[in-house]
Amino acid sequence: MSEHAFAVLRQLSNGGFHSGEAIAQQLGCSRTLVWQAVNSIQQELGLTVFSVRGRGYKLATPFHWLDVASIRSGLSIEAAEVFTLAVAERTDSTNSQLMARASNGVLHGLVLAAELQSAGRGRLGRCWQAKLGSGLTFSLLWRFERGMAELAGLSLAVGVALARVLRRLGAPITLKWPNDVLLNHSKLAGILIELSGDALGPTAVVIGIGLNVDQPGEIDQAVATLSSANVTINRNDLLAAILNELHLVLSHFNLYGFNATLRQEWNQLSAHLDSTVNLSFARGEPISGIARGVAENGALLLETSQGLRAFHAGEVSLRSTA
């Protein structure tokens, strides 16, 4: 990618026409480098740039960049005291970056958001891709005094926090066990939890979230977007709202774990409650049954021909039979 691509894109992001000469003067580079950057923006970032003789370059669809000051202005007083915000234009994976720092005493409450990830990850090693400006991809480092075994159900609690925000915005989302947010049965957002620490505590947890605001580009599965639900919101405002709710939920979880309050709320939001589903495993035969909600430890309760059984996330995938 052209080293000037992001700098040129920042010049164009307001949606107006900008001459190549003016951009070159602003950046202290040649018009040829500007032209190369525009090509890179189109070919490698997948964004459309109009080029009109006598007027210059214009980004087809302007967007707002993630901005630390804008995000912080939307935080509650309590959340602002806990969260330290950082935004990267490009990184491999926000989760990988925070996991690499988790054992080095990095601040509790550090949030890293990225405009573009080259190696974004989802659950079970799946790739998470998003076109520049089309979504939110961020990770949060949260330190618990609890041991790893006491953090069961954390991904479900994070799902509840996302659901509260998105439903307030008017998106009729549901939750899929163990870590997906659905809109009209398609994936709107995903959650990736990674842990490091001692069995008895303390534990450093990195919570990664990817959310589709607009179409993320060409991907290998059906996805939903907030725009398809007619939800229009600046990404900085959206991230602030999510962080405010995460602060509430994680503080609650730190005291009480995945208690009856969170469990009941998750069950009410479940996309598959009392429906027949199939569970598939990395090893072994799939199992069918009726989803009966989740247990105190976050396990899926499945009514099978052998009775009520509990399944933990691990290498399990859930599919509806409908």
Whether the Cβ atoms of residue 289 and residue 320 lie closer than 8 Å to each other: no
pLDDT of 146: 86
Q: Which of 121, 176, 187, 292 is catalytic?
A: 187
Q: What is the DSSP string of 167-211?
A: HHTT---EEETTTEEEETTEEEEEEEEEEEE-TTS-EEEEEEEEE
Q: Which of 126, 167, 168, 319 is catalytic?
A: 319
Q: Which of 123, 143, 164, 235 is catalytic?
A: 123
Whether the Cβ atoms of residue 50 and residue 58 lie closer than 8 Å to each other: yes
Whether the Cβ atoms of residue 175 and residue 163 lie closer than 8 Å to each other: yes
For 28, list phi and psi in degrees, rounded to 5. 70, 40
Whether the Cβ atoms of residue 140 and residue 206 lie closer than 8 Å to each other: yes
Rounded (5°) CA angle 154-157-163: 145
Residue of 69, 71, 42, 75 whose CA lies nearest to 57? 42
pLDDT of 1: 59
Q: What is the chain's pLDDT, residue by residue, as a tens digit (322 residues)?
A: 567 888 999 899 888 999 999 999 988 898 889 999 999 888 888 888 999 988 999 998 887 899 999 999 999 999 999 999 999 998 989 999 999 988 777 889 999 999 998 875 554 455 556 678 889 999 999 999 888 888 989 999 999 999 999 999 999 999 999 999 999 999 999 999 999 888 777 899 999 999 999 877 666 667 899 999 999 999 999 999 999 999 999 999 999 999 999 999 999 999 999 999 888 887 778 888 999 999 999 999 999 988 999 988 755 666 666 5
Residue of 77, 92, 89, 39 whose CA lies nearest to 244? 77
Whether the bond between 62 and the residue before it is cis, its omega within 30 degrees of 0, is no
pLDDT of 218: 63
Domains of the chain in start order, with CATH, are 5-59 (1.10.10.10), 68-268 (3.30.930.10), 272-320 (2.30.30.100)
pLDDT of 123: 47
pTM, to two decimals: 0.90
pLDDT of 127: 52
Q: Is 131 a catalytic residue?
A: no
Q: Is 319 a catalytic residue?
A: yes
Whether the Cβ atoms of residue 274 and residue 303 lie closer than 8 Å to each other: no
